[in-house]
Structures are given as structure tokens and as C-alpha cells.
Structure 1
């Protein structure tokens, strides 16, 4: 259609402008009405069709929107509006590559459009296409050189792309072009100056960075940042006397900041590793401690470097001080010292020696200072304890010892239980849940999740208004697989009107810890569909955090917070290194591997019958309860919709979509069709962003070894593309070599190395020459092939018989070597049973051994013997009591 036929008459042109305004103000109903009015008279008007498509997409009608936008492009192929909308639709679908193509085509048609150029730049920085981002920002700067944001954005692009000199030059040229001197309160200018300074420092020219910092220190509003940068630059330039003065000033501002003390040590030329410097270091920290009774860091840090008698003397003073003050976090302050066995033993001896002591009337030199009110010139003194001094002392000492014996490096749970019971018995407060919470933690470590959950709930009931203890209780309930109780507990602090009830609110609030714990609980119960649904929710939350950058690409420039923006971009680049993502990803991968190994699990919602599955009656009861909950949610939803007020003028209500698959059954069926492909979505971020995470490398081997076998069985070809094709075992080998590099003695190295040899020996056709050469050079040539794999495996067992993890690896490899041998299964079951008697075997090791027995499909007698032995050692462990 000719372009001039797309020009609307004045009345419809006015309606089109209103249509655009309605979209921008989210008045979608009015916008659709205006679009229909235009299309009644001009049914082929492409721009109107495109705007209507954009509104439909925002209403959740993506398919209809794409069809309409394609029709709009057919009617107005040379309309920049249609191409722009087409790009926006792809962006909403997170198909950024296609969106960028559409934006570029729109720019060809309208090169002067700031909006299209801005949208393109946003996608480029989101995709980390810094080269394209620099080009887009340079064009925007040429169109509007008077806007500071365009200069700053170009500098950011050059900075992130590695062109530090170019970024500094852009900022410098803008400063030269300024016609008026910015005011002292101009935050944007002050931040831009500090940003320029960090760029100079990153380039390595520390001397020039210091000179520049000195020239702007009066203009910069972030005084702390200026002082910190100055101290750092002086140290790097070896101007230690000046650095010392700066760090002393910083410590006056914040005497609890450990980084300042570390900088001060370096500026004084003192080294903790040198025993000759310990006395001087002690004097430095003593002077800071004398400045105020409230300072803790200056008293605590010397414990890190002092040794032997000096450590004992200082630890005695430090512990007596905090015990008399009744500080509950005493153990948390010193537990880092337990990595040194000698210091751990000294602390134990000291604290146990306090059991029969009472605090002295004068409390020693540091403890005897009377309480003095603060009056501007007088130093602030601690207030006297509210409780009786003797009672405070007894509580502190017993509570410390309870935590000491509960800690994994000094664990003796019987003593921990004795001390926590003593603490609770002498605690006069009936509303302080602190000691009861510690009791629940000790019970948890004894293995009784049932009793631990009950104990934590008792602690929660002491203060029903405290969110922290409510959260801890919900966590313990999830660890005991009380999913319904946990959601009721945490629901006490969620929004009552939330769609989907408490769980819906937790998903909206992106409460990752709860969703992860809930998923792991369902996994333990073998409810794989629900578990996978939760882990997918965690994955989606991290994707949302990735998407949330879009808002800050423009917001940070508008507000001038450039340094914080750079930190955010770099943090986002490593977002999926987060421990919660790792936990969820590893658990999801385990489920996908189960689905690959046992396709029958895809039936009945992934309920793994025979492996901790509920009885038929329990499943029926759970189904009825789930149905009732769904009906309740639906009723609440209808009631909320009925009570909802009409949307305010200029606004439209945004309703939350109903979860059409609350049990995750449909998604589970989809995942079960291609489990290894789905596992790759979780695995790739782990391997790319956390290459030193050994659990990620172990999971990588498990996925890749199965993909290699599957690809060979499904496609008989020797072509090698991207490392994942028929017969290509290189990705699995890469993960295996990473395990060896990280922990050469890790038991998984032995097991997976043997399984790789089994897979290579069992190939029905030869590997490609290049692949075979790599495997021979990096792997096979370094193995001892004189002995058979069976002999090597049994020798490995002899050496590591006292380690449950190593025995489990031996058993798994034995199963790979003899998958159908009943004799091997019997022998493996006995070897696992023998690990129970080893002192080195932990409760977690014993639980893993139970899972290995399930993998072996061992008989009932073997499992019963294993569980019986485990019950005798861990008499309270819930996992064995339920068997």
C-alpha cells in the first residue's frame, strides 16, 4: 500500500494521538475503543493496528498481538511505528535478538527518533553488546549534545567496553563544555566527578587519580568515599604516613570497620604473619579500645593474630567483658577462631573455667568503669545490665558453651543439650525465645526434625509478633516436611488479600529462601512435580532480577548515581552465582536426571512410588486437601474481585494471573519429555558463572555423560559440533578434569572417572579422531591401565574404607561395572552397612547411604539391616525412625 494512503484525516489523527496517550497512561480499554473507531473507517491503517497490538500484548494476548502486528507490517511496511511496535513485542517475549533487528529497521525509516534509539540502546546494554551500545549512545549524543545524560551514558558504554581512556575523555570534554559552574548541591555533577576518578584509578594511573581526587574533594558530596579512595591511593603509592593519618580519620568516623584497621596495619608496615610485629599491633589496637567502652572491633581483632599465652590473656579479658555485659552474640563473635584447634581449645578451657565463677565486684580494669552519662565531652559508657550481674554471667557462660558444643568444629551434642537446658532453667524471662531457639537447633543437629520443629514452634509462640522467629519456625517445619503448617506459619505475616493466599504473596515478594526450602521438602517426599515447580519459580525470580535492570539503565542516568549503576551491572553479570540459585539449580538437575534414568516417574505427577512415597490413603487425603485449598483460593479471589473498587481516572487495574497449574503437573509432563535439555537451562549458568563450584561440575558430568549416550543412540553420526553431538564426550571430560583440579581426592573423581571409562569402553562405534585424540592425551594416558577397573575399585575401597563418601563412590562405580549382578549388590549393601560404625561418618553421610541403597534397588533385608544400624547410632534421627 502506498505510504500516503496511511495518512489519517484530522479527526482520526486526533483519535490516534489519544490512542497513544491512552497506551502510555495504561488506559487500555479507552485505547482499544479509540483504535476500533479509527479502524472502522480505515481498516488497513498499519500504525493503528500496531498500537492496538501493543495494547493487546500488555493485556496478556501475545499471540493475537503478534498476528495483528504482522498484518500492520503488511499494510505499512515502511512505517517506523509498526517496526518499533514489532520490536517492543519481541522484547516483551524476551527475544532480544529479534527485537534489536526490528529496532534497527525502524531506525532506518526514522533515523532521528530518540525513542527508538533509546529502546535500542537499552537492549544493547541489557545484552552486554557494549560496542553497539557505544554506537547508539554516540548517535544520541550527536542529536542532543546539551543533555548531560547522553555524555555520561557514552562514558559508561566506553568504560564497560574496556576503553577507559575514551570514557575519561568524554567526561572531560563535557566538563570543558559547561557554561556555568554547577552548584555545591549538584549531586549529578559530584557523582560524575567521583566516577571519573574511579575510571582514572582503574586505568592504573594511581598518582593522577590521587591528584584528581585532591582537586575535587571540596566538590564531592560523598565525603566517606573521598577519604576511602584517598587512603587506598596513598597506600598504593607507598605514602604510608599520609595513609596512616587518613585511616585514623576514617576510624574516628567508624571505629567498627575492619577494612579500616587492615589499611591502618598496612600503612604502619605491620604484618600479622610476623610474630615480631604482634606486640606493636597489640599496642595499636589497645589505644583504639581505650578511646571508648563501646568499641568492640579493636578488642576482637587482636584475637586473630595473637597466639599461645598472649592469646589466652587477651581472650580472657575479651570474654569476661562480653559475658558480664550479657551480649548474646558472644559466640558468633569468636567462632571464626575455631579454625585454629589451639585457639578453640583455649577458649573452651577459659569458658568452662568461668562456670563456677561470679563476676568480681570491680570486674577487672576494663569492667570496673562506672556508668557515666554522655554530655558531649565525656566518653559514652555502657549502661549497667538490667539483670542481676551473677545471673547475667551464668546465662552468658552456659549459653556460650551450648553453642560451642553445637558448633560443627567442636560438636558434642550431649554436652550442648546439657548446657542449653541449664541456660533455660536459669533464664528469668519467659518471653525471650533466644535460648529456646538454640535448643531447637541442637535438637535438629541430633537428627530429630520432628522434635526440632516442635521446639522451634514453642519458641515462636513466646513472641507472636516477631517476624524473625516466625521465619525460623517455618524453615524448621519445612525441614520436617510440614508444608501445610509452614505456609500457615509464614502466612501470619503475609498480605491477607494476596491472590493465591500466602504462597502467592511469597512468590510475589520473591521470597527465595522459602520457595527453595519448600521445593527441597517436596523433593524429599518424592513429589517431583511440586518440587520442580518450586525450583522453576526460583529460576524465574532470578530471570526477573535480570529483567529488572531495564528500569535502572535509564533511572540511574536520570538520577546521576553512576558509580552505583556500574556496581549493579557488574553484580548482575554474576547474579546466578548466588547460593540460592545454585541450590535450586542443583536440585532441579537431580530431578531431571531422575526423569531421564526412570521415565516411569513422569506418570502420576512424578510421585516416586517405593521411595519415601506416601501411602494411597495419604495421597488421596492430600489430594482432597489440595482441592479444598484451591476452592478456598478461588472463593477468595472472587470475593476480592467483587470488592475491588473502580480504577482511578488515568489508571487501569492490573490483575494477577491465576495459576492454571497449581500442582505443576502440566509443566512436569513437558519437562519429562526432554529432561536433559531442560537440565541444561540450569547447568549452563552454573558452569559459566561458578566454575569453581565442585557440585556444579559434578552435576555437569552427570548431564553430559547422559547426553553423549543419548545422542549416540538417537543419531549415528561422527560429526562434532559445539561439543554436544553423537559420541562427543568432551564436555563430560571437561567437568571431570575440573573436579580433579579443584579437589583431586574428591570421591566423585574416582566414581565418575571410572564411569567415563566404562562408557568409552562400551562404545558401539569409534569416536571421531579429534575427539579420541583429546581424550587420550588429557585423560586415558594418565590412568593406570595395568589393573582392571574392578581391581582398582576394590583397592580404592581398601584405602578409604573409613570414609562413607568414598565407599558410596565405590559402590556406585561397582554398579556401573556390574549393573545386573546380585552378588555385587549384596556386597555393596554390606559395605554401606559397615560405614555406619565409622566415627567419621556423619548423619548426612548415613542419609546419603540410604539413597545409594535405593539406587541399587537393594532388597528389603539389606535396607532393614542398614536402618537398624543407623538407629542404634542416631537414636533420634527422624529419617531412620520413619523407615
Structure 2
């Protein structure tokens, strides 16, 4: 089939291309049909390819791919066919395949600008930096008059750390520019050029460049920040001091400027730093930064005087963030004690004399006493003295029953006490006092999810989501990951593994979408010259999955898949729930019938809602929509551990400094029987925290697994035995566990881990196991509620062996005395009494 068309058909083909570019798809199809209806050109490759490209834009993907492949088979030497095939692959996000297509297209038209531009976009998207540099160099040779050609090539060199070439190209481009009085784009270019000097370590050139082009740069703050840092690096301390003082004068609330000045002045003692901060406290009376920094470096009576002044000022103003500002100081026990004594003294004086200090002349307003009580409640909650904190927050609510912060703090205290039902109830009470507050609304929804009340959480969020769309769908569209993470955790607690996995995959897709969304910025940022921001974005995208949201999502997904491996689901989750209730066959049949009717009713309701929308919009959405995740299919997979590894790998790449990453890796590889990978996980975890309780249990399990494995490969066995001796510190297994218990006498978590390991090693030693895990005579026991709750649940699950009910009940009673607010240790009567107290508080607030 000839690739060249006669003039008439060639003009029609040009019109097809133009219609595609102008998105006039119907006209484009009409002109393509005219060419293809001619028998001689019925199989013209480029026309078939263009027709396929237009159909792809109309959502007809299968037909489009068929046409493009036909066109490519008919004309393998056509750059148009290869280019179009690359565009289709790009639309399917198969970037590697698209790059191959573009390279094939360039074989037949090596200087095609459009193909080179498209190829460069894919190369930077896939971080093929070497290929990106070569493509940008080719574009620079072909179009030296275009700004993007110079910037693109220099950025490619910059990303490859070829700073000399990048700077040479940028300087050549700068010489071609006319200097204007106020040109934002040129200003951004100069700042980017300067940042390359800094990254190259050429501090002297960096400073000279700034001084030379200072008048052309619009961002004066960035100029001073860079001058301060570079001057210090060059040893020009007088200049650096001047710039830092100018920056502080512009923004006295920026901590970095103060710490930078301290570094420049080489202030080595706390007294010298305190004097410097005092200078700025006097100069900037309304700035918190120098006051708080001064508190960090003072002690004794000086600290007491300064912190007293700071707290008194905040209490008089009624500043709710006071505790958050003071909290970093509480790491020092001496300072924490001083703060406690001061505020208790203020509380006593206000209650008896309405004054903060007895020798004050004027009386304080009632709000000062209110915020003093509020601070004390926050203070004791921080140190997990929850009964004392509760006493103060109740006084706060008695004083001002409509204070929203009082209810949120009370809810927080109950949450820390592991009484989530009451915490959620109180947070919802706080929300009802101000229904226009999105923050309290979100907090209330989060607390509802913690008690597995997903429907209530959805209703709460629906107050701030788009109308006409369910809250769950809208939150998914908005990539509201905290909500989806809490939903996944809730489903996992309820045993709804499929629903939990669905949420985890949705969150994972959000991160994939964020990575793919950068595609549009590759051309935009070079066009708008936001080059520093563009480089920052690329570097952020490279480590995107190190974000805490992804870590939480991946951990939940791993837990779900490990659970699936341990307990495979062969029925639907609904049937499993029904069968577990112990119903008779007749009752079971009746309940299933009721569920089917409810499901059918819900489907009809959804269909009716969908029919009310515009038909064309619905069709278009259906064409472009991605397949929805099916919870039932997600749990019916043959290889749950392989799926878990897909979530584990990003954690190993980007969260390797977190010990949980390696503990979860061990869980997976232990079940797969991968001894070397188990060993690798243990070694990495040991390098982070050699005394971690779960790591100790894992080492014991690993040693026993190796001992039980008789047919281990000889080479593998030799490596494992050598490394295992290092892990066991040259001891025998029983001795290793005893040493761990002896070394960590003052930790419940470590003692219970030792008990669990002892039960694995010697199930007959049940008396000592119970003695270790049920001991509650520790210092600061009030901070150990989560560990005690975990031990209690493990006692019920026979983690420490078969434990008599009387022992479990004794442990519960002991814990209930230590943690009276914790729901997990309460009996039914105590729980109902606490509910009545909260109900009475709610009624009081309404009145």
C-alpha cells in the first residue's frame, strides 16, 4: 500500500489532522471515511491510524487500537503510524511502550519536533534522565531560538548533576535576554540559575550572581535568605549576621532566622543564646518565636520567671494554643515540674482571690480562670494522668457549658483512656455546638470511624461534601486520605477484609494519580518559568510514597493480605457473618432472604438516582470511568502474600528507617518460608532498634523455624547459621530470652514479649509466663494503658498459652483500678455509670 496520497486525498488527510488538533472529531471521521472509501486507499496506514486516534478520543478504545494496529501493519515505515501508536499507549499510561513507539517513529523522521517533544515528556515522566538530556539536546540544535529548548537542556543537565554544562547553557541563554525593570519570569530564571550555583557548591559565584542581578529579582526575601546562607558558607560572618537581622526584622516569627543567626554568631552557651533572644523579645514584643526559643535555653529561676510571664499573658488573652506552644518544653522533667507548679498556683489564686498572683492589684476576668483550668487538663492529659485531667475538664465545662474546646478535650481524654464510644459521643456534642466548623466536623467523623460507625461518619461528612453525590464518592474524588485510611482500619477491625482492601487500593491509586498528574506540569512550568518550584516538584514526586498517608495505607493492606493468607475467605463476607451467628437453618434462610431484598432495594435506589442525571453526561462518564474495585474479588485471590509484597516494596524503598517496615516484611517472608529474606528483615530491624519487643519475638520464631527446617540448602544454611549466632549474641535460645527479660525489667512491653517468647520456647513454664505478663508494679504505669490493653487481649486470645478465666479476671480488675476510665477494663455496671455521667453533661450543655 503506497504511503503517499495523491493531492486530493492528501488534502483530506491534512484536514483529518487539523480536525483532530481542533477537537472536531466528527468532521475528522467524515474526512477519514472519504479517503478510506476509495478502494485503492481503503487500507492506507496513516489514515487508519488517525481515525483510530480520533476514536480513542471519543472513548472507543478497542476499535481505536484495532485500527491503529492495522495501519501500522500496512505501513511500518511511517512515523505518523508509530507516533499515533505511541499517543494511544500514552493515553493508557503505558509510558515505556509509548517511548518505544516514539523511538521507532524517529527512525523514519529523526528531526520531527513534535515527536521529540512528546518523547522528552515521557522520558522526564519516567525519569530516564540520560535519554531526556539527549532528546533536549536534539531539540536545542533544531530550535535554538526557542526558550524551552535552552531551559529544557539545562534542566536535564542539572538533574544529572552536570552543573558546569547546566550553568554554561543558562548563561548563554541569559545573554540573549533584554533586561527589563520588572519581569517576573526573568526573575524566576535568575533565581533558578542561582540555585544551580548553590547546588554545585560554587558559593562565591552564587553570591556574586545575586549581587549582580539583585535589581532584576522580584523575590527580595529569597535574595536575603540565600545571601545569609552563602555568606556564612564563605566565612563572611559580618555580612551573614546583617542579612539574618534584616530577615528577622521582616519576619520576627520565623524560627529558622533566629537559629541561623545563633549559628553565625557562634553562640555556644545557653546564657549567650538567652541574651540574644532577650534582645529580640524586647524589640518584637508581639512575636512568640524569640520568647519560646528563650525558654528552651534557660533554666532554674530564670526559666521560671520567663515562662511565668509567657503563660500569664496567654491566660489573660484566652489563648487556646498556649499548651501546644509550651508542649516542646515538657520533654525536660524539671521544666515540666516548674510549669505544673506555676499553673497550679495560678489556679489556686484565681479560685480564691480572682488573681493570678496574690500581690496583683487588679482582679482577673472569669475567662482567665477558665483557660487556666483548660491548660491544666491538657497538661495532665499529656502525661496520661487521665483521672486528674478529667477532673479539670469537668470543671471547665461546669464553668462554661458551651465551650467547644472543653468537649473536644474531654473527648480526647476519653480516647487516650481507650473509651472510644464516649469519646465519639462527646466529639459529636462539640460538633453540634458549631455545625459550620469543618475542623470539628472532620474530628467528629474520625471519632465515629474509630468506633466503626461508618454510616454516622458518612452522614457527618456529608454536611460539607457536594450535593447529589454520596459522601463516600465525593471524599474519594477529593482524595481525602485520612477518611479512607480510618475507613480501611474500621473495616479491618470488623473483619470486612474486602472492603478494607478496596479502601487501601483507592488510596494507592491516589498516589499513582498524583505521580501521573505531574505530566501536565512538564511543559507548563517551563512555559511559566516556575523552574525552582518545578525541580522541587520532581524531587517530591520521586519520594512521594514516603508520605505517612501511604505508610498507614500500606500497613493496613499488608495486615489484610496476611489475614487472608492465614484465614482464606471462600464465601462472601455477608454469608460468613451470617453463618457465624449460630442460627438454625430456617432462621438462616430467612435472614439471607431479607438481605437479598435489602440489597435489591438499594440497587433500585441507586439506579433511580443515576437515571435522574443527564443521559449524555452519564454515557460519557461510563466510557471514561475506570473499572470499580470489587471487594468480593479482592478477597478471592490465590496469592495474598504476593499482593502484600506489592505494598511492602515502596515501604522498603522509602520508609526503610522505620522498624515497622522490616517487622511486616518478616511477617510476610516467614509465611512464605523465605529464610534469607527473613534474615535480611531481622538484621535491618536490629540496626534500627535492637531491643524492640516484636523484633525479639521474631528472632525467636526465626531461630525455631531454622531449627525445624531439615532440608535447607547448604549454602543458605551456612549463611543463616552464621548470622543467627550474631542475632542471638552468641547465646543459646533460652538464655537469649532470659537475658532479654532481665535486661528490660522496667518495661511492660518487653516483659510481655519475653513472656510470649517463653511460651513459644517452653509451653510448660506457664506460671512464669503469667508472672511476667501480669505484673503491673512499674513506675509511670499510667502511661502504659495501650500495652496493658494489648496484654489483656492477648490473654483472652491464648497468646501466652491457655490462661484460666480467674487469672484474666484478676488482671482486668487490677487494670480497671489503674485505668478507671478505660472501657476495655470496665465491667457492665461501671460502663453504664460512665455513660450516665456523659449524658448528664450533654443535657447540661443543651440547657
In terms of mean alpha carbon deviation, does 79-88 or 517-526 score higher? 79-88
Separation (CA, whole Å) in 2 of partners of 1:421 and 1:362 = 22
**Aligned residue for 2:564?**
595
| Runs of 5+ consecutive residues of structure 2 not aligned to the other structure | 829-847
Residues 33-86 of structure 1: CA deviation (Å, up to 9, x unaligned): 554554444442322332343344445554444333222211221221221222
Separation (CA, whole Å) in 2 of partners of 1:244 and 1:368 = 43
The Cα shift of 1:606 comes to 9.1
Residues 283-336 of structure 1: CA deviation (Å, up to 9, x unaligned): 332332223442111222101111111111111111111111111100000101
**Aligned residue for 2:298?**
306
> How many pairs are equivalent?
813
**Aligned residue for 1:702?**
667
The Cα shift of 1:102 comes to 1.0
1:564 and 2:522 correspond: no
Q: For 1:511-530, list aligned pairs within 5 A.
A: 511-530=480-499
**Aligned residue for 1:634?**
607
- Tell me: CA distance 1:607–1:686, structure 2 relative to 1, closer, same or farther (3 Å): farther
Of 419, 431, 436, the residue aligned with 1:465 is: 436
Separation (CA, whole Å) in 2 of partners of 1:9 and 1:882 = 91
Q: For 1:251-262, list aligned pairs within 5 A.
A: 251-262=248-259
**Aligned residue for 1:541?**
510
**Aligned residue for 1:284?**
276
Residues 561-606 of structure 1: CA deviation (Å, up to 9, x unaligned): 001111111111111110010011011111111122222x353339
Separation (CA, whole Å) in 2 of partners of 1:315 and 1:173 = 57
- Tell me: CA distance 1:774–1:69, structure 2 relative to 1, closer, same or farther (3 Å): farther
**Aligned residue for 1:315?**
307
Q: For 1:237-636, list aligned pairs within 5 A.
A: 237-271=234-268, 274-275=269-270, 278=271, 280-358=272-350, 389-407=364-382, 410-427=383-400, 430=402, 432-498=403-469, 501-599=470-568, 601-605=569-573, 628-636=601-609
1:66 and 2:11 correspond: no
1:739 and 2:710 correspond: no
Separation (CA, whole Å) in 2 of partners of 1:559 and 1:668 = 47
- Check the 8 A contact 2:190/2:217 in 1, yes or no: yes
**Aligned residue for 1:793?**
737
Separation (CA, whole Å) in 2 of partners of 1:612 and 1:416 = 41
Q: TM-score if structure 1 supplies the norm length?
A: 0.85
Separation (CA, whole Å) in 1 of partners of 2:244 and 2:287 = 16
SS at match of 1:692: coil
SS at match of 1:461: helix
Separation (CA, whole Å) in 1 of partners of 2:442 and 2:252 = 32
SS at match of 2:774: helix
- Tell me: CA distance 1:13–1:607, structure 2 relative to 1, closer, same or farther (3 Å): farther
**Aligned residue for 1:752?**
698
- Check the 8 A contact 2:758/2:769 in 1, yes or no: no
**Aligned residue for 2:787?**
845
Q: For 1:72-91, list aligned pairs within 5 A.
A: 72-91=71-90
Separation (CA, whole Å) in 2 of partners of 1:94 and 1:165 = 35
Q: For 1:213-232, list aligned pairs within 5 A.
A: 213-232=210-229
- Tell me: CA distance 1:433–1:15, structure 2 relative to 1, closer, same or farther (3 Å): farther
SS at match of 2:572: helix
The Cα shift of 1:141 comes to 0.7
Separation (CA, whole Å) in 2 of partners of 1:170 and 1:526 = 60
- Check the 8 A contact 2:59/2:624 in 1, yes or no: no
The Cα shift of 1:207 comes to 1.6
**Aligned residue for 1:783?**
728
- Tell me: CA distance 1:164–1:774, structure 2 relative to 1, closer, same or farther (3 Å): farther
- Check the 8 A contact 2:384/2:416 in 1, yes or no: no
Separation (CA, whole Å) in 2 of partners of 1:558 and 1:794 = 66
In terms of mean alpha carbon deviation, does 247-256 or 862-871 score higher? 862-871
- Tell me: CA distance 1:693–1:656, structure 2 relative to 1, closer, same or farther (3 Å): farther
Structure having the larger proportion of residues in helix: 2
- Check the 8 A contact 2:346/2:355 in 1, yes or no: no
- Check the 8 A contact 1:526/1:611 in 2, yes or no: no
- Tell me: CA distance 1:786–1:489, structure 2 relative to 1, closer, same or farther (3 Å): closer
**Aligned residue for 1:157?**
156
- Check the 8 A contact 2:55/2:63 in 1, yes or no: yes
Residues 170-225 of structure 1: CA deviation (Å, up to 9, x unaligned): 1012223x1x5232222222111111111111111212211111111111111110
Separation (CA, whole Å) in 2 of partners of 1:636 and 1:585 = 34
The Cα shift of 1:635 comes to 2.4
Separation (CA, whole Å) in 2 of partners of 1:798 and 1:761 = 25
Cα RMSD after superposing both structures: 3.4
The Cα shift of 1:112 comes to 2.1
**Aligned residue for 1:98?**
97
The Cα shift of 1:508 comes to 0.8
The Cα shift of 1:390 comes to 1.8
Separation (CA, whole Å) in 1 of partners of 2:811 and 2:57 = 61
- Check the 8 A contact 2:3/2:46 in 1, yes or no: no
Separation (CA, whole Å) in 2 of partners of 1:215 and 1:619 = 80
**Aligned residue for 2:638?**
673
Residues 710-751 of structure 1: CA deviation (Å, up to 9, x unaligned): xxxxxxxxxxxxxxxxxx533322221111111111112212
SS at match of 1:603: coil
Residues 85-107 of structure 1: CA deviation (Å, up to 9, x unaligned): 22223333333222211110011
In terms of mean alpha carbon deviation, does 532-541 or 16-25 score higher? 16-25
1:182 and 2:179 correspond: yes
In terms of mean alpha carbon deviation, does 348-357 or 284-293 score higher? 284-293
Residues 602-629 of structure 1: CA deviation (Å, up to 9, x unaligned): 5333998699999989999888766655
- Tell me: CA distance 1:59–1:631, structure 2 relative to 1, closer, same or farther (3 Å): farther
Separation (CA, whole Å) in 2 of partners of 1:112 and 1:749 = 59
Separation (CA, whole Å) in 1 of partners of 2:193 and 2:443 = 45
Residues 758-789 of structure 1: CA deviation (Å, up to 9, x unaligned): 222233423252x44543444435635653x3
